[in-house]
Amino acid sequence: MDTMLTIWWSVCGLLTLAWALRHENLTRVQRKCDVLSASTYSGQPANAPKVSVLVAAKDEESCIETCVRSLLAQDYPNFEVIIVNDRSCDRTGEILESLATEFKDRLRVHTITELPAGWMGKVNAMRVGVASADGAYLLFSDADCEQVSKRTISVAMQYTLEHQVEFLSLIPVIKPSCVWEAMIQPVCTAILMIWHQPHRVNNPKRKEAYANGAFMLLRRDIYERIGGHGHDRVRHALNEDIEMARLAKESGVRLVAMQNRDLYTTRMYASFMEVWLGWTRIYLGCFQSPRRVIRAAAVLTVFSILPVVSVVASAVMLAVGNPEQPSQWWWVLATSSACWFMLQTVIFRYYRMIGAPWWRSLTYTGAALFCFGILMNALRKTLGFGATTWRGTSYHAQTTKATAHAG
């Protein structure tokens, strides 16, 4: 028993030190991390290349009008907007037809009625959109995004041209649509960022690659050079954005991923089930193999769940009375509490950094447990048990075939 308690106490001590070091890491990230905002640049680029903005929409009646109008309100002098209605069963098509009539000279709408065999839904929709685009730059976005600034494209293009960036991805500001998204999303995002840290992604000497499909801006020739959405690795990918980033990085493309402050926001999921299925799909496409999912789950368990479990267990042992080594149990409780406190202070800073209310950091432990469940669901699917269903389409982890189901 003495040996077990000593090991337990030592592990808690090491975790306390690890979380203390995270404070230094957060400070370094905040100091080095570039952020684009509406005030980063003024005006438009002197020579403004044409930008084709492409959005895939499937059953997006609740947000598609806001998305399109915010894009058409941009102050960039040379752009077009192309929306692809991908097999929508709600009012998305009707709304897009009305918008296309209102903005007939600035908006083009394509409609897809069937998903070709061997294609992922969004990937196929983007392929159709690109075929009619004539911009020197392609900007891929999502239907649940709103450009809260009229300067989003102008700022992104000026940064791209000034820094000779060939592939720019701006990470969205999340506006939660439900309490579950507000609670779980920051933790799920943090897990993803552990494996795709921006300073590593932006370092051309490192192999880490990441892009967020809510905002991907790249030159047309770069898109064609890496094979675009028709590349076998992209057309079969659950996370086509990350796969395109990997291809770009492997091809020596200058890839930059950075945060935006006040350019655009996104509302990703409207219910617990959407959060569960959506992040299962993201983790499945991101980690790809059982080994990587297990590693992510192990890190989450040891660093985020174990400290709280340790506090509760040691407190219970002391509360029930007369443990064999009361002084050692007190040491375990004290060290576990110190670890939990250090964890919570780091999480508090992290939530402030991403713009979430500080009090949501108090829900971190519960959210971590939900995220563990999502990772286990992703692990089950990487092992070939069950399909991943998203927006009415089911995708199997170990096959390239996508089968559409009525949804």
Which among 48, 39, 74, 254 has a CA at the least distance from the CA of 157? 48
279-318 as b/e: b if 16+ CB within 10 A: bbbbbbbbbbebebbeebbeebeebbbbbbebbeebeebe
Instruction: Assign 368 a pLDDT band (cuts: 50, 70, 90).
Output: very high
Residue of higher predicted confidence among 33 and 231: 231
Mean pLDDT of 262-276: 91
Rounded Cα–Cα distance for residues 242 and 196 (Å): 10
246 has a pLDDT exceeding 90: yes
Mean pLDDT of 326-352: 89
pLDDT for position 401: 37
Instruction: Assign 81 a pLDDT band (cuts: 50, 70, 90).
Output: very high
Rounded Cα–Cα distance for residues 37 and 351 (Å): 19
pLDDT for position 314: 87
Rounded alpha-carbon distances, angstroms, from residue 371 to 75, 288, 359:
40, 17, 19
What is the distance of C-alpha 242 from the center of its chain?
10
Map out the domains of the chain as residue ranges: 2-28+289-402, 35-172+212-270
Give the pLDDT confidence of 342-367 residue by residue, as tens digits.
999 999 988 888 878 889 899 999 99
Beta bridge partners of 174: 266
Mean pLDDT of 179-208: 88
HSE-CB at 383 with a 13 A cutoff on CA atoms is 11
Rounded Cα–Cα distance for residues 19 and 344 (Å): 9
pLDDT for position 42: 87
140 has a pLDDT exceeding 80: yes
**Contact partners, residue 147, CB within 8 Å, separation at least 6:** 70, 71, 73, 74, 263, 264
403 has a pLDDT exceeding 50: no
pLDDT for position 142: 96
Rounded Cα–Cα distance for residues 68 and 338 (Å): 49
What angle is formed at CA 402 by the lines to CA 396 and CA 403, rounded to 5 degrees?
A: 105
- CATH class of the structural domain 35-172+212-270: alpha beta
Q: Are 165 and 254 in contact (CB under 8 A)?
A: yes
Q: Are 139 and 55 in contact (CB under 8 A)?
A: no
pLDDT for position 137: 98
398 has a pLDDT exceeding 70: no
392 has a pLDDT exceeding 80: no
Average pLDDT of the chain is: 88
Mean pLDDT of 205-229: 94
pTM for the complete prediction?
0.85
Mean pLDDT of 201-211: 90
Rounded alpha-carbon distances, angstroms, from residue 301 to 310, 316, 363, 388:
12, 20, 16, 24
Query: What does DSSP assign to residue 148?
Result: -
pLDDT for position 386: 66
Give the pLDDT confidence of 143-175 residue by residue, as tens digits.
999 999 999 999 999 999 999 999 999 999 988
399 has a pLDDT exceeding 50: no
Instruction: Assign 306 a pLDDT band (cuts: 50, 70, 90).
Output: very high
Rounded Cα–Cα distance for residues 187 and 240 (Å): 22
Give the pLDDT confidence of 27-66 residue by residue, as tens digits.
877 676 678 999 999 888 888 999 999 999 999 999 999 9
pLDDT for position 193: 80
